Amino acid sequence: MICLGIEGTAHTVGIGIVRDRPFGILSNVSSMYRPPSGGIHPRDAANHHASVFTDILQKALERANIKFNDIDLVAFSIGPGLGPCLRTAATAARSLSLYLKKPLIGVNHCIAHLEIGRAVTGASDPVLLYVSGGNTQVIAFMNGRYRVFGETLDIGIGNCLDKFGREAGMPFPAGPKIEEIARKGRKYVGLPYSVKGMDVSFSGILTAAINSLKRESMEDVCFSMQETCFSMLTEVAERAMAHTEKEEVLLGGGVASNERLRNMVRKMAEERGAKFYCPPGELLVDNGAMIAWTAILMKKSGIEMDIDETAIKQNFRTDEVDVTWRH
Ligand code: AMP
Ligand code: MG
């Protein structure tokens, strides 16, 4: 089976073409919207997605070296995400499905991060620490569903870093720049470590970090932000592993590109005698291949969707999905 998957929940629009037997990511093309200044306006991101769509579709087909007719299944990210972006991807997917007369499946974006990680890293039943711009969740499979064991109570970790960066004059996305600057940090500046039960919160740290720039160096503040936020994430991931008795931890989301975060989570796993997994960069960030692959799993487990079941779900919860493809 060959599936064309469209990702479009937020700043990135992507198309991935995936084959199941033998497993292969035939192509995975994406384009990220970068606002000229300030934050992302959902409508501007959606316009960007629409304007580059045919171009990346062509590239995806070319790189996969297939023709339209070779596609057996069309998939798209049905949620969670920004309404205008989701609608753009959904509309494109519906048109393609009707035109090709091939089935259409809407995929939960967070679950797609986990499934692509399982497919390419060898992790079989991991706790996923999903750290992206808008989302921050600790997810694991239990009793037929992917359940959220901990999550942010306010903004996503990537959003926290990007907002701090914007205040400090860095271009979007600020995460990589903060990582680079943090390497030169020497002193830990106290920031409010906020773990509440199994959940985390970043808005207080964001405000405190911005305020501390008046007294402390940029290097020390970036370093301290990373140390604080990443320790919190490592702590809740570890507690989820202990609670679920799982022996694998998997990273997903753009913030997992960060070496410091990876090292913290890797060390935590080692100390528990557990295994650490992290997919390659192009599969960590939002991408179409993860959507295509998850749709293949869904389709092969018997899931079918009528066009009228493909309405977008902006607040789609991870644990709403009946995971028919795992036992
Ligand atoms: P995603 O939403 O999963 O596509 O990931 C995008 C987010 O990842 C943005 O908020 C970026 O700032 C963040 N990001 C990317 N690279 C890094 C990095 N090296 N360190 C920290 N955050 C990063
Ligand atoms: Mg994502």
Q: State both tokens at 198.
A: 């199994």
Closest atom of ligand 1 relative to the 165 alpha carbon: 12
User: Ligand 1 test: best mutation among 257, 263, 278, 285, most atoms within 8 Å of CB?
Assistant: 257
**Ligand 1 proximal residues by C-beta, below 6 Å:** 12, 132-133, 158, 161-162, 173-176, 179, 253-255, 257-258, 285-286
What is the overall mean pLDDT for the chain? 97
Ligand with the closest atom to the CA of 109: 2
Residue 40's pLDDT band, with cuts at 50, 70 and 90, is confident
Q: Is the peptide bond before 36 cis (omega within 30 degrees of 0)?
A: no
User: What are the φ/ψ torsions at residue 303 (nearest 5 degrees)?
Assistant: -75, 135
Amino acid at 78: I
- Judge contact between 105 and 75, C-beta under 8 A: yes
Domains delineated in the chain: 2-113+283-320 (3.30.420.40), 125-279 (3.30.420.40)
Ligand with the closest atom to the CA of 233: 1
User: Ligand 1 test: best mutation among 9, 161, 283, most atoms within 8 Å of CB?
Assistant: 161
pLDDT tens by residue, 193-234: 999 999 999 999 999 999 999 999 999 999 999 999 999 999
Residue 240's pLDDT band, with cuts at 50, 70 and 90, is very high
Q: State both tokens at 59.
A: 């590239």
Closest atom of ligand 1 relative to the 173 alpha carbon: 12
CB atoms within 10 A of CB 31: 18
As a whole number, mean pLDDT of residues 273-278 equals 98
pLDDT of residue 36: 84
- In 109-213, the DSSP E strands lie at 127-131, 136-142, 145-151, 195-196, 199-200
Distance 113 CA to ligand 2 centre (A): 7
Q: Identify the residue whose C-alpha is closest to ligand 1 atom 12.
A: 175
Q: State both tokens at 311.
A: 């309405």
User: Is the pLDDT assigned to residue 35 strictly greater than 90?
Assistant: no
Give percent of the chain above pLDDT 90: 96
Distances (CA, A) of 286 to 12, 29, 97, 290: 6, 11, 22, 8
CA 266 to CA 189: how far, in whole Å? Answer: 24
Q: Which residue has the tokens 């999550």?
A: 151
pLDDT of residue 172: 87
Among the listed residues 230, 55, 244, 218, the one whose alpha carbon sits nearest the alpha carbon of residue 160: 230
Q: Which residues surround ligand 2, an ion (CB under 5 A)?
A: 132, 286
